[in-house]
Copies of this chain bind each other. A is one copy, B any other.
């Protein structure tokens, strides 16, 4: 499918025209929305809802307040803008493109290896801060403003938050410290679009009267219409006059604003569809048509030539997973099955119920489902209280948030020797489109030193169901279930008679020259690919599925090293704290280090952003790369290409 965009010269024309400010901004915003949806469609994923709700605020700031150009991006006296939530970055990229700060190639490379990250990253020109993990923005803005003061530099700091984001506790820490420390150079703006990932903010955790709430923390609060440029201008003009308090502008916005069917209607209270994800072809065509019409209508009504669209390339053919299996789906189904008889199961969620596959549980067992909003610490400690009273809480969120944001709370609960199941969704490197705030490569390490925790990662639906049962019925330990979020690149086959056994792995494919140990559908698939490639060259690479990530049976490993002296460990995790470390420790403990070689093939840098194939190749963890690392003589035509066409949609 051919795609068109508004190129920079058309934005220059509008900016330099004699139109009134508000007219310029309005037209400019719709042109940016057009470009945003094209980039998200080309990426195959991204966040349109908040890109569109925040767009007018962003356009207003860049065109009127910031004076940011390609040449002053590092000027110490510059005004600074960044989004704390970061979801809205596709919209911001379009604005940065319109100003010549990003190139067309970059914007069309959204969520690609050589392109732009799915959440803001400091390496991108014009991006001031890494965000995407929620609630950090005002704290960071305060650091920036304080630094400007200490360095005697000019410039203000503008930081955008979401409204769902106001459920994060760090927001309130930062509100009170900022007021107390009198760092009044900050203007925070809430993109108050009333919908968070799953559904309306009011239904997840109502924020109540935000104005009086934020005022009670010592801020000056201004309300405005975030899609009315005169209202925005009025608000920011008032804000500029306040010098005795930091200012919080609550901008009333509409999620998905500008594309009629992306704006919420009453039926969306329980299921708003456009928080993330690329539109299908029909929706895409309909959306760009509507946006183009709006742009043309506005131009005509302002008496100027309609901005011209230019062809900029093609939408890549959509590539879908080679399997339809989602391990998390199997987990969710088994949880429902178990809950029929286990009345003590209570499921907690942090505004990711759909992604975490606990929607069915919510529907079937509403009394035992707790939607806790974007407040991971609170959710985990609430689970602690439930467990103390004899219930079995199952806590769901993305691994990078749950294990890290609520780390001290998880430890605190474990100190009470209760049993809690933590379902760490979106574990591992893939999908890699959302970028390093979402890819979870530290979650084993941050939990593994809790003495009574068992960490598991299933490789297919059958194993996911077995582990769910194991967690519920068979262990007294704190459980961490590490779950991939995307579709499995292939269905990893296990014998029908297979039964998980604590601390023991299972051979998936035989081989007599070396063995590779991995876990989860993504990297077991790559391991199997490597073994398949190598077998064509007469090299036998045994592939082992080892789903127990911090507990290794001594007898099992003893038997393994009697069979193989050359062991590779492929962690879907940073090397530090991964299975490799635990395996080495077990070998040392059992005096099995002699005469073996152990090679760790995991990740030791920050994870790259891109498509699955790109990123696996980048980290030299794709099947072909693994084959080459194990047997350097290996050559494969696709070594540097995307080997396996599986996509994984990028949530949140």
Contact = CB atoms under 8 A, between A and B. Distances in A.
Nearest to A573: B449
B208 A139 contact: no
Contacts of A445: 445-446, 448-449, 577
Contacts of A407: 404-405, 407-408, 446
Interface string A389-407: 1110100000011001101
Contacts of A416: 122, 129-130
A576 B174 contact: no
Nearest to A155: B389
Interface string A538-578: 00000000000010000000000000000000000111110
A79 interface: no
Nearest to A210: B216
Nearest to A444: B449
Contact of A385 (B139, B412, B449): B139
Interface in A91-130: 121-122, 128-130
Interface stretch (A251-259, A286-294, A305-313, A375-383): A375-383
A295 interface: no
A169 B167 contact: no
A222 interface: no
Interface residues of A, number: 118
A133 interface: yes
A181 interface: yes
Nearest to A207: B176
A585 interface: yes
Given A385-B139, A388-B128, A588-B600, A437 B449 contact: no
Interface stretch (A36-44, A271-279, A366-374, A504-512): A366-374
Interface in A336-395: 346, 367-368, 370, 372-373, 375, 377-391, 393
Contact of A386 (B133, B144, B208): B144
A299 interface: no
A415 B436 contact: yes
Contact of A381 (B174, B368, B382, B575): B174
A528 B66 CA distance: 61
Contacts of A176: 167, 205-208, 373, 375
A143 interface: yes
Which 7 A-B residue pairings sit nearest by Cβ, starting from the closest?
A143-B385, A169-B169, A147-B389, A139-B381, A173-B378, A172-B172, A173-B375
Interface of A: 76, 121-122, 128-131, 133, 135-136, 139-148, 150-151, 153, 167-174, 176-177, 179-181, 205-209, 212-213, 216-218, 346, 367-368, 370, 372-373, 375, 377-391, 393, 400-401, 404-405, 407-409, 411-412, 415-417, 436-437, 441-442, 445-446, 448-452, 550, 573-577, 580-582, 584-585, 587-589, 591, 593-600, 604-606
13 contacts: A140-B381, A140-B382, A143-B381, A143-B386, A170-B409, A173-B377, A177-B372, A400-B408, A405-B408, A407-B408, A411-B442, A593-B594, A593-B596
